[in-house]
Each structure stands twice: as C-alpha cells, then as structure tokens.
Structure 1
Amino acid sequence: MFKSTFTGFIAIATSICFLFYSPSQKSFYHSLFISDSLSNNASISNHLYMLTRRPHVAGSEANAEAAVYVLSTLTSYNIKSHITPYYTALTYPVSRSLVLTPPPPEPPINFSLQQEIYENDPYADVADQVLPTFHGYAKSGTAYGPVVYVNYGRVEDYAKLKEIGVNVSSNIALARYGKIYRGDIVENAFAEGAVGVLIFTDRKDYGGVKWFPDDKWMPPSGVQVGSVFNGAGDPTTPGWPSTEDCERLSDDEVEKTGDVPLIPSLPISWADGESIIRSIAGDIASDDWQGGKDSPVYRVGPGPGTVNLTYIGKQVISRIENVIGIIEGAEEPDRFVILGNHRDAWTFGAVDPNSGTACLLEVAERLQKLQKKGWKPRRTIIFCNWDAEEYGLIGSTEWVEENRQMLATKVVAYLNVDTAVAGPGFQAAATPQLDELLIQAAKQVEDPDNSSQTIYDSWISSTNSPEIGRLGGGGSDYAAFVQHIGVPAADITFGGGYPVYHSMYDDFTWMKKFGDPMFQRHAAVASIWGLIALKLADDELLPFNYLPYVLELQKCAEDLKGEVLDISITLVPLFNSINALKKAAIKINDEIKALEGRKGWTFMWKDSQKVRELNDRLMMAERAFTDREGLPGRSWYKHLIYAPSKHNDYGSKSFPGIDDALEKAKSLNTVDSWHSVQHEIWRVSRAITQVSLCLKGELT
C-alpha cells in the first residue's frame, strides 16, 4: 500500500515539475541568455585585457596568475570552482643560433632571431618576458649543411622533389608554415634524411605591403612558434595522468614512441627565410611553390648556401593548472555538459587562446544572471579552462585520462572554443549528431557584422548550406574527448586563421584594431556557445540526431571505392553496417517523436524513466565508435571514424585506420598489406554495428 501511494505521489510530483518548469519557460530563459540585456561587451574586453597583460606560457608564474584570475572570476559568479594541477614535462629554450654562409663573395649572416618591438608598443616593458623563439619539444643539437627548399614540407612536396632529382638527405630542409602541422613538417623531413629543419612564415601566407601595427599582417621579424610534439598529453606519461609522483618514461623511452622529433629545428621570420632563399640555387621552383609579391625567386637547391643551426633546450617538470567550475544540475546532476577553452599562450595570446577564455567567462556571467532569475539547469554544466594546450593538448588530456571512467559514462557533450575570434566569418566543426543543434543555435543569434541577419544567414551566404567541419584533427582540446573516449563534441570560432598567429604581435592591441574592435564577435561566440550548452543541459530529450552521421559515413564509404585498388577487398560489410545504423537512427527518432507527443499531465513517472533511457542511448552511441585497441601504431587514438591524418596532425581523416592501412598497402602491394586493409574495414564495420545496437537499446 505504501509503495503504491509513494509511486503515485512521485508521478504527480514529476508531472507538476514538468508543468511549472515547462519547455516554454526554458525557451524563455534561453532567449534571455542571448538577449542584449545579459551580454556585456565591456566585460569581455576587460577580461581579455587582464588575461593578456603579460606573456603567459605554460608553467610560468604569469600563467599561474592568469589561472587565479579565471578562478576568482568564476567564484565571484557563485560558481563552485577549483584548480586541478598536473606536473608535466615541458621544454624551454636555453640557447639558439643560426648562421647562413651564402656563396662567395657574400659574407656569413648571423641571424639575431629576435622579434622586434614596434614603435609605441604598449607591451614593450614586458617584451623581455616573451620566450626566445623556439619549437616546444625540439631536439637539442647542431645541424650543418646545404639548404633544400621543400615548400610546405608535405609528403607530396618531397615526392615532387624526387621527380626532379633533388635529394634532401644530409641537408637542411627549409619549409614554410601552412597546410600541415609543424610537427609533421619536422617528422617528414627526418623521414627523408634531413639533418635539421627551418620553418619560416612566408610573406605570401602571412605578410603584406604594410604590417602590424599599421595593418593586420605579420611584421618581417615576426615568428610563429609552437610545439613539434606529435602526440597528445605529457610525453612522459602516455595514457595515464601526470600526477606529482606518478610513473614516467625515460628520455630514451619517450624517443622510442616516435612522437618527439629526432632532429633539431627552429622557427624563423619571413625576413630571415627570404635571406636564406636568396642563397639557394638549382632548379626554379614551380609557380605554386613561389612566394608573394616582391619576394625573391624561390629555387629548390641544394645550396650552395649552407646553414649552421644550433638549438639547446631544457626539459622541466612544471606545474600546470586546469581551472574547473561547476553548476550542478537540478534533476540530472550526474550528466555533464562541458565547456572548454585553454588559457596558456606562447606569448600574449589575445586571439589564441584568450579570446576564448574571455568568452568562457562571459558565458559564466550570463548563466549567473539567469540563476538569479530562477533558472536551474537540468544537467550539470562544467567550465574547464585548460593549461598547456600549446605544448600538445596536455591539460585537457591529463584530466580526461585521470577521469576517464567518470567522463565516459556521464558526459553528454563537450563544447570547445579555442580561438574565439580572429576576424569575421563564423566557422563550426562537430561530430555529426550535433549538426542540427549547431544550425538551430546559429539561426537564433544575430550576426555581429550585419544586424539584419543571423549568424546562420551569413554562414550559408556563399554555399547555400552550412559547412560543418569534423573533429578528426588534433588541433585543440576536443581531441581527448572525441578521439580518446568517444564523447560528442563541437568546436566554434569566428575568423579562422590570422597572420600574427603564435607570434609576440598577438596582443590586445591587434585584437582592438583588427580582430574585433567592438567585441561584438566575442559576444556572438558567447551567445551561440552558451545557447548550445543550455539546450544540451536543459532539454528533457537530448537534441541529438544520428541521421547526419549516417550521411557522413555513406559519403566516406563511397570515397573509399576509388581508393581500394585490390579486387579482393570488399566494402560490403561497411555499407551493410551503415544501412543498419540508418534504420537504428530512424527508429530512435520515431521513439523520440512519440514520447514528445505525450508531454503534459499524461507525462508520468514511467515516461520520465523512458526519457532517461533514450538519452543514455543517444549519449553512449558515440562511445561505440571507439575501440579499446585504438589505431594500429597509434593506440591512444581510440575513435575509428575520426582521428588526425598520419602525416598531418591538423588534418582530419574519416576511417583513419583504413586510410593508414591503404597508404601502406599502396606502397608495399603485398597480400598481407591488403589483408590489413580488409581487417580495418571489418573493424570499422563492427564499431558502426555497435552504434546501431546502442541506439536501438535492444539485446541481440
């Protein structure tokens, strides 16, 4: 009798709860979140100014002070917050030198390797705190030899050099930034036998007739620094968290992983790069290898100019600090919606990453204002301000590795913003079940550059349909969530690339003059970021749709047809598994529609249990794309649909295991190598089948 009465009471209470905190009320709060009354451009500007007063590389005192600023700001918004530290192996420069010996009678040039302070630079007093230009995790040593110009240093660039009889072995490779990740530029050069690498910011890609502070372009002395580590997380703790007294690999063991470079490298300016280009003879490079207006003629070499490159670095176990803030969910506190952005910067970091940090704090402030008006999230919202992203996604990776089991069972989605604003033009990437959610949010937020239209309107202006990228690249903190534990995720930005990237000119002045003078784009990023988070945190039924995933997989499978050259290979298992996924996606969508039709007084306790069960299926389906063994030779990457390209960490590959096996099979053309291709096809097929079973929620 008591049990029956109690159950009836719960059902009535649940229905009353739905009545008094109805979808229309949630919609009201969501509309209020993106209204002008809650946004504060001046506050965003102030956050960015405070965060970028000093260079704040990971492990530095300045970055620890920036962590305190983020922590105190979140705390002031009544968000329960704390710092989670890790102790990670980071590298810093000790000494560098670069000497060019051009053909006689020209004298040797000893490059200063200095980025110049501009006239009336407001940050001149702290410019000496900018680290000397270097590559994170670069190999210490000296390299000497003739120079070969290798364009962007891609695999196809070396193939072109071989076609014209140019050998890079025992020479210094001179590459320009762009197209691929700098760590892959170094790795590709090593694979071709180069003894050292120089990477310059070509005027064609980053320069202009005028430059900062008069225009947005990189000054002649500007240098793009960055990491050349090809893994994710602390290289000394692969797969486990870098806590204070944890196990660590030795230097020799780290080298054997293949993720750290084995030859020295240096980043250099376009002025220094052009000086070296002038010392190179040999064949004239093709038109697409040439520089921009007023650049010298690019020849490929080798030599006769030679360089002597020396880099000495030190590795230090440094304390890094993630700042974590939590708004606990009222109904499902054990389901997490995570918003993430990193804080550390190679220099001042106004664009990368602190435009994103300023937006993160803006979202937090608006949610505090909503709470004062009575809003409570259904699910828990977590703010994560990562550290040491620039060295190799370290802060986020260590946190995910430490909390792997909790996150794998409780995270609804991860929403990343790295560079929030670099200029005009909205861009987004996501795992496909979030596509429709991104589109809906973009339709609700005003375009910051044209108040007569929405972000969605400007987004589709040139293509008639939104271009949503995928999260297979390793370029930001979504990697550990998507590629390691299989969490649905999205990444948004305004503007994409920008000329002063990773240089000392990425400061508050550049943002105020060229990136976002009125901070309207920042406010728009906060609006769309927060709106997506609110939908994921508040909607009774998660706004996921797996049909776009089906279309994506079908397209990728069709593309494979032209790549499979061996007639013994069959793609039938792959297409069959995708067809099964389509049926499962339609089935769960139908279940959702049926349940939505029962809202109101008739929505009883058993229906709320069904909501939970449906949401679990939607949330966990992405996990089923992972395989515990990971990709062959890259076991940290567990996701069989999205992972970085083997030769470009920034590049996204669908079916990366199949792609890697195909590349090997085309080179070896043996029975065993093509058998490996078929095995990877079966692996992906089995993973997709698991996703279907998860969505259906039925045992076989």
Structure 2
Amino acid sequence: MQPLSWWVQCLVLRTLPGSLLRRADHQRSDNAYGEEEAAPLRPDRNSPLPMCDSFKPCRKGAFILVTSLTLAVLSVLAMHLFLSIWLSSNHKEENWQRMFVDYIDNNSISNHLQQLTKEPHVAGTTENFKTAEYVESTFRDYGLDAHHKDFDVLLTYPLHRSLVLTQPGHETIELFLNERAVPGDPYSNNSKVMPPFHGYAPSGNASAEVVYANYGRQEDFEKLSQLGATVEGAIVIARYGMIYRGDIVENAARAGAVAVVIYSDPFDYGNNGTQGYYPDSQWLPPSGAQRGSVYRGIGDPLTPGWASESEAERLSVDDPNTMLPRIPSLPISAEDALPILRSLSGPVAPLEWQGTLELSDYKLGRGPGRLNFSYVANQTVRPIRNVFATILGSEEPDRFVLLGNHRDAWAFGAVDPNSGTAALLELARGFGKLLEQGWRPHRTIVLCSWDAEEFGLVGSTEWVEQNSDILNANAVVYMNVDCAVAGPGLNAGASPQLDDLLIETTKQVTDPDDFGQSLYDSWMVSSNKPTPSIGRLGGGDSDFASFLQHAGVPSMDIYFGADYPVYHSIYDNYNWMVKFGDPLFRRHVAITTVWGLLALRLADDAILPMKYENYANELHTYTLSIISRLKEADAPESISCTPLLSALKDLGASISKISQELKAVNQEGMGVHSGPDLGPFYRQRGLNDRLLRAERAFLDSEGIPGYSWYKHLVYGPVSNNNYGSLSFPAIWDSIYEATGSSNDASNSTKWAAVQHQIFRSARAITRASLVLRGKLT
C-alpha cells in the first residue's frame, strides 16, 4: 500500500493547472544532470493513477511545490477530521433526542393502556402480579435488561361493610355502599372489583349520632367547636377535597369521633350536577365512591425505616410507631350521603360549607340521624413486586438517572396510575430503538415500576430504604409520572435546580391540544405569570416522596390535567380515558416525550443541567414568608430569622463560585475526553457530584418533629395535611403550635422551639453551601 503522501501527490498532479506543470518542466532543464526537457506527463493506461514515478523528486521546484500542497491538503484533512469529531460530540445528543421524539407513538401507548386496565388490580392480588409480568416482559421485548424485586408488606382488604341509618319517626335505611354499573361501560359490571373501602382502616363497630364536618380540616373542627357542635362520641361525615383523607380521619379522632364516613359531593366532583354524569359526561356518577388509603405514614407500616424483606423485623399492628389510623372509616357515595345529611338538624352550616346535594341547607347535627357503623378488615402480610429496566451507562455506569411510575390501582386505574405506566413502557420502546441505532447513555438510566403506591407509597419506599446508601452516593435525579394524563394542561413539580431544564424541554415539545405552539407556550398561558408555575414536592402524594424527602435525591413530578372527577372509582377506566381524558392519546405522547427528553439530558449532558440560583431565590422567598408570619403572630423579639438570612448569603456566594467554575468548564469543552489524560473528566465528575449532592445537605438525621422519617428540612408535609406542602415544614409546624398556645409558660417554650427550628434549617442551608463550594473549611 502506498503512503498517504504518494496518494496526495498523485491527486495534486492530477489537478494542477497545465501552466504550473510546464513551469516545473522548464525548471527541470536547469538541473544538475543537464537533461533535456522531459515529455509531458500522461497516465499509464494500466494504472488508475498518473505515473508519478516519472516525476523525479530531485527536481527541487516541483518537489517544494508538491510538498507544500501536500501539507496544505493534510491540514485541510486534519481540520475536517477535527470538525467532524467536534460536531459529532456536540450534536449527537441532539440527534438522539430528535430520533427519540420520532419514535413515540400514540397507538402503542393506547394498546399498553388497554392491556394494563383489562382487570382491576389492587396491590397484592393475582391480577396485579399479572401487570408486573406484563411490564417486565415488555421491557425485555424492547431489548432492555429487566428484573424485579419483591417485598412482603402489610396490606388490608374489606371483609364486611355495613352502614344503617336510623332516625326517630322514619324507616331504617341500609345504605348501598357500592357503585352502580352504567350503560355502555362494560368495566363498571366487572365482578372482580373490590367494593369501596379505605386502605389500613381498622375494624370497628360504632353506633352514634352524626356530625357534619365539611372537609374535615383542623380549622373545620375548630369551627364546629365554636358553633357548639360536639364531636366527642359522634360519627363524623365529611366531604372529600382540600386535604388528605387520612388527615380527615386523624383530625376526627383527635376531636373525639368514633368513626368517619367520607363522601364525594357534586360540588367538588359533579360540576354541581349541571352537565350530567359519566358516561354522558366526565363527572362522577352519584353512586361513585373514592377509595384510598387512610394511613398517614409512608412505606410498610410494620417496618418503618427499614426494608420489608421476608425475614425482616416487624412491629405489632398496635404499636403507635406504625402511624396506623385509630378509628374506622369508610368512603361512601353522594347517593348514600344524601339521606345521612337529610337526617341532621341543629345549626345551619356556614355558607362555604354548603354543597350541591338536593338539600335546602346542610346542617351540622348532632343527630337526630344515627348511624350503625360496622367494618371488618382483613389485615395481612402479602408480597408486592417492583419491576425495573436498566440501561447501563457507557462512561459513568455508577450514576443513576431514575424514572418511575406505580402500577397498582384501586380498580382499573386508567388515569391513576396506568396512563403513567403506558408512558413508561413507551419510554422503554423509544430507548430500545435508540439502543438499536448505537446509542448508549453516558450515565445509567433505570426505569422503575412501583407496586402498592396506593396503600402509602409502599413499593418505592421499601426499595429506597433498602438502597438508601447507594442512592446517597450515586443517584442523580428521580423523575416521577403518576397520573400521566387526566385532562388538558401541563402540571409540574420539581426541585428548584431543575426548573430551567424543565422549561427548556417543554420548548422542544408541541402542545398536544394546539399544534401551532409549543407546550411551553400553552403552559405560560395557563400559568398567567411571567414564568411557568412549577410546584414544589413537599407533599406525600406520590412516589417522589421517599426519594426527595427521605433520601435527598433531586426530584420531579409531571402530568397533564389536575384533579379529575372519577378519581379512585370504578369509572376511572379505559372507556373514560378514550371519551374524556385523551381520545387521541396525544397528551400521552407529549408527556412521554417530555419525560424522555429530560432523561436524555440528565443521562447524557457532560455537565448536569442543574441551576441552584433558582433554589436560592426560592429559599429567600420562603424566609420572607416566615418573617411576615412572625410579625403577624406578634412573636417575641427574641425570635429571629437572622440565621436563615446569613446562611442564604453564604449560599449565594457558593452558587456564584460554582457557576463560574461551570462556565470555565464549558468554555474548555471538557465534555469529550480521550487518551490517557483523564484529569478533565474527573474535574467534570467532581463538579457534577457537587451539583447532585447539594440536595442531600438539606437532610437532617432527626427529621421533622413528630415525623422523623421525613428528613428534608426544606420540603416535607405539614402535620395536618399529608397532601399539603410548605417550605421549612418544621418551622411552620412549630409556629402553628406556638400561636395556638394560651398558657404563658407553655407559650414561651413553644416559641423557643420555633427558634430552634430556624437554626436547624439555617444549618441545613449552610451544609448545602459547603457542598456546592466543594472545599473543606
């Protein structure tokens, strides 16, 4: 094989102008050999290239010319090679993203959803294990490495339910306590559906007069006391909405109630009855009832803080550390609530307590209506199954980008959760297609299908508790999609350092309800603010809770539509989805696309796309809210937020420093490394570690007072609403306790507790500041 210079010389001679060749030939006549002018060059008929050997290298002018041209061509080739490598390294991620978007298919998602929702599949049942097998086999069909992990956890199911209404001068009414089949909906006729019940509600019998408690919030029970309605020894009826059902039951127990029934009022779930009901409209039929857990903890109640393996230590069901409810409860329909509320006399409920049942007025009671309440639960330890698919990272296999959705449902669960499961499987299909084309993520991607979320985020929590040390060291982010599609409009919650990434990603995706604009554009319109509305993840209403609030992993939760009326009823099925939720499955495509693009950025970007400036701004806003509340409450002058303000100043300096470092790294182009010099790679990795681990610094080993499992001092649930979220929950809970105290000595102690919580939160901010700075003090 000829050397490269020979081929280049031949190429040059083939293309040189004739005048240059003649000039070179004339120069040859003056050479030392004194030879005559050579014959013009011509190709050899038996050679594909000119007969370059006839051009003798000793003729200096031509040699110099050819050498110069050779070097020029080599320079061009080298530049071309460099540009090719540079363009490839800088645009291959963008190409993979475009390919991924093209792969997502609405028919594929629809087919998955139909398969997943054929049967009701409550956690711990045979039908739910079939959905686990379906997910795992589908992962494998798409070319992904799949496995499952089982845990043995406490679950509960109904054995007996009875509510009988009695009132003087009226016939006894035994309430129906079931949902009725509706015409044109075969799902509502399914005999395998479990009747409405509350997960973890204890068995119990009670016979008592009834009190109406609005939404069952703490302030509602305080209002009842002010209005002279006695709850002690009564059965409470409350309506769903505003707060977590488990907190309704706990608030009633604290007020002295002996049992609770909770119903879905048409005001909240029927659009005041003005548009009809499912299947003619999207609204919950009068017989619809909302199932759900009333457990106020997270994870298996019998193994708080450790994984529920088959041979694990377990608490007794009666142990107060389980946080299981103390009094029995049942969900009922508006149809069953109506005669109960009709049976009440006493003061008329406040105007804001009035619903839209066919009553002249909602009254508080107590009585004369009386309920005979009977419930028997089957409490049993059963296996559950989490399913995973892993795509191993090519350069940082020990860094994990986790995407999750739960699979179990109270009935069919077309919206909650299997719209998200169908999206997860479509993600797997899209990633599988990319793998076929040669893509490998820089960091490892893990797809997670959780079990028993409905009972209390059980599957994800047990797994996080078992893997907390590895997650602490290696988890980059957790991105959750639960009810992927319940209707129009994007909703999102995120750790603040992920805000900009979420915004950038939505600009790449078309609005599924208006192809003329991006998803970001429609999100901006619905937010009606200068920037999109991004919520924070302090509540405990989905599987992100254990990742963020217990393990300190930056997290995100995205979905289309907010509250939807058939939530946790038998009418949340495939038929409702194709009629009202997403008839063409375009919203499913959009949420899957956003989810996947986020994953590709977090798995493949050389520098993690996390910006802590947003976090600092949020923390400053939270601190100002606390200062304002302290002034409102006329707090003692000794109570000061100076520690928080000082810590925030240091945090700002650390963020400025790491931002400068990141800018320098991006300018140096450290995203590509080759050869033995891995220094740039490890500097880059060190910066990324600081970005992903700063969130962990907000954890405190003692956790939130009274709820020590929740370790995050910035984001966590408040004490009287597990769905609610306040920043610095420990501070807000302590302020609530202090402002509710009337005894001077007790009040002084409680205000001191407020200051202690301010100091704790300030120390957490300082820890995050030090992590971002990356140097020892």
| TM-score, length-scaled by structure 1 | 0.95
Mapping of residues 408-487 of structure 1, within 5 Å: 408-462=472-526, 463-464=528-529, 465-487=531-553
Question: C-alpha separation between the residues in 2 aligned to 1:450 and 1:21?
Answer: 34
Question: C-alpha separation between the residues in 1 aligned to 2:215 and 2:344?
Answer: 17
Relative contact order, higher structure (CA 8 A, sep 6+)? 1
- More deviation in 256-265 or 590-599? 256-265
State yes or no: 1:583 paired with 2:653: yes
Look up the SS of the partner of 2:219 in the other structure: helix
**Offset at residue 671 of structure 1 (A):** 2.1
Look up the SS of the partner of 1:162 in the other structure: helix
- Greater Rg by CA: 2
State yes or no: 1:265 paired with 2:329: yes
Question: C-alpha separation between the residues in 1 aligned to 2:267 and 2:318?
Answer: 39
**Offset at residue 294 of structure 1 (A):** 4.4
State yes or no: 1:567 paired with 2:637: yes
Aligned pair partner of 1:592 in 662, 665, 670: 662
**Offset at residue 633 of structure 1 (A):** 1.6
Question: C-alpha separation between the residues in 2 aligned to 1:316 and 1:169?
Answer: 31
Instruction: Give 1:679's aligned residue.
Output: 756
Residue identity (%): 51
Structure 2: which 5+ runs fail to align? 1-81
Instruction: Give 2:22's aligned residue.
Output: none
Question: C-alpha separation between the residues in 2 aligned to 1:199 and 1:573?
Answer: 44
Structure 1 pair 663–177 and aligned structure 2 pair: CA distance change class (3 A): same
**Offset at residue 666 of structure 1 (A):** 1.7
RMSD: 1.5
Aligned pair partner of 2:92 in 2, 7, 25: 25
Structure 1 residues 474-529: Cα deviation after superposition (integer angstroms, max 9, x where no partner): 00000000000100000000001100000011110000000000000000000000
Structure 1 pair 283–17 and aligned structure 2 pair: CA distance change class (3 A): farther
Q: Do the aligned residues in 1 keep the contact of 2:606 with 2:671 (CA within 8 Å)? A: no
**Offset at residue 601 of structure 1 (A):** 10
Structure 1 residues 408-439: Cα deviation after superposition (integer angstroms, max 9, x where no partner): 11000000000000000000000100010110
Q: What residue identity is the alignment partner of 2:95?
A: F
State yes or no: 1:170 paired with 2:233: yes
Q: Do the aligned residues in 1 keep the contact of 2:607 with 2:671 (CA within 8 Å)? A: no
Question: C-alpha separation between the residues in 2 aligned to 1:601 and 1:651?
Answer: 41
Q: Do the aligned residues in 1 keep the contact of 2:492 with 2:556 (CA within 8 Å)? A: yes
Structure 1 pair 91–633 and aligned structure 2 pair: CA distance change class (3 A): same
**Offset at residue 192 of structure 1 (A):** 0.5
**Offset at residue 374 of structure 1 (A):** 2.0
Question: C-alpha separation between the residues in 2 aligned to 1:396 and 1:108?
Answer: 45
**Offset at residue 249 of structure 1 (A):** 0.4
Aligned pair partner of 2:243 in 165, 180, 202: 180
Look up the SS of the partner of 2:186 in the other structure: coil
Instruction: Give 1:227's aligned residue.
Output: 293
Instruction: Give 1:352's aligned residue.
Output: 416
Instruction: Give 2:50's aligned residue.
Output: none
Question: C-alpha separation between the residues in 2 aligned to 1:563 and 1:85?
Answer: 46
State yes or no: 1:79 paired with 2:144: yes
Instruction: Give 2:216's aligned residue.
Output: 153
Aligned pair partner of 1:691 in 764, 768, 776: 768
Structure 1 pair 356–71 and aligned structure 2 pair: CA distance change class (3 A): same
- More deviation in 618-627 or 602-611? 602-611
Question: C-alpha separation between the residues in 1 aligned to 2:150 and 2:240?
Answer: 33
Instruction: Give 1:3's aligned residue.
Output: none
Q: What residue identity is the alignment partner of 1:328?
A: L
Q: What residue identity is the alignment partner of 2:595?
A: W
Question: C-alpha separation between the residues in 2 aligned to 1:161 and 1:506?
Answer: 34
Look up the SS of the partner of 1:251 in the other structure: coil
Structure 1 pair 512–666 and aligned structure 2 pair: CA distance change class (3 A): same
Structure 1 pair 666–124 and aligned structure 2 pair: CA distance change class (3 A): closer
Q: Do the aligned residues in 2 keep the contact of 1:18 with 1:600 (CA within 8 Å)? A: no
Aligned pair partner of 2:160 in 73, 95, 105: 95
**Offset at residue 562 of structure 1 (A):** 2.4
Look up the SS of the partner of 1:400 in the other structure: helix
Mapping of residues 91-490 of structure 1, within 5 Å: 91-104=156-169, 106-123=170-187, 127-207=190-270, 208-209=273-274, 210-253=276-319, 256-257=320-321, 259-292=323-356, 294-462=358-526, 463-464=528-529, 465-490=531-556
**Offset at residue 670 of structure 1 (A):** 2.4
Look up the SS of the partner of 1:83 in the other structure: strand
Question: C-alpha separation between the residues in 2 aligned to 1:18 and 1:540?
Answer: 16
Structure 1: which 5+ runs fail to align? 1-14
Q: What residue identity is the alignment partner of 1:656?
A: P
Aligned pair partner of 1:618 in 688, 691, 694: 691
Look up the SS of the partner of 1:232 in the other structure: coil
Paired positions, count: 680
